[in-house]
Amino acid sequence: MTEEKKVNNLELQELFEAALKTKTEIQTLSVKDVENILGCSRWTIYRLIDDGLLVAMQSMARGKIRFTPKALQDYIESTQINPKKKKEVN
d(C-alpha 13, C-alpha 3), whole Å:
20
Query: What phi and psi, each to the nearest 5 degrees, are found at residue 41?
Result: -80, 165
pLDDT score recorded for residue 4: 45
pLDDT score recorded for residue 8: 64
d(C-alpha 76, C-alpha 45), whole Å:
12
Give, for 66, the enclosing helix (H) or strand (E): strand 65-67
Pick the CATH number of 9-79 from 1.10.1660, 1.10.1400, 2.60.40, 3.40.50: 1.10.1660
Q: What residue segments make up the domains of the chain, in order of their start?
A: 9-79
Cβ count near 30 (within 10 Å): 16
Q: At 55, is the pLDDT very low, low, confident or very high (cuts 50, 70, 90)?
A: very high
d(C-alpha 44, C-alpha 53), whole Å:
11
The share of the chain scoring above pLDDT 90, in percent, equals: 44
Taking only the tens place, the pLDDT of each residue in 23-54 is 555 688 999 999 999 999 999 999 999 999 99
Task: Indicate whether 83 pLDDT > 70.
Answer: yes
